[in-house]
Amino acid sequence: MSDNGEEDGENRPVLYLNERILSSLSRRSVTAHPWHGLEIGPKAPQIFNCVVQITKGSKVKYELDKKTGLIKVDRVLYSSVVYPYNYGFIPRTLCEDNDPIDALVLMQEPVLPGCFLRARAIVLMPMIDGGDKDDKIIAVCADDLEYKHFTNYRELAPHAHTFTW
Residue type, 131: G
Catalytic residue among 62, 78, 83, 85: 83
Give me the residues paired with residue 70 across strands.
Answer: none
CA angle 84, 34, 38 (to 5 degrees): 115
What span, in angstroms and rounded, lies between the C-alpha atoms of 144 and 125? 22
Q: Is 147 a catalytic residue?
A: no
Residues with a known catalytic role: 83
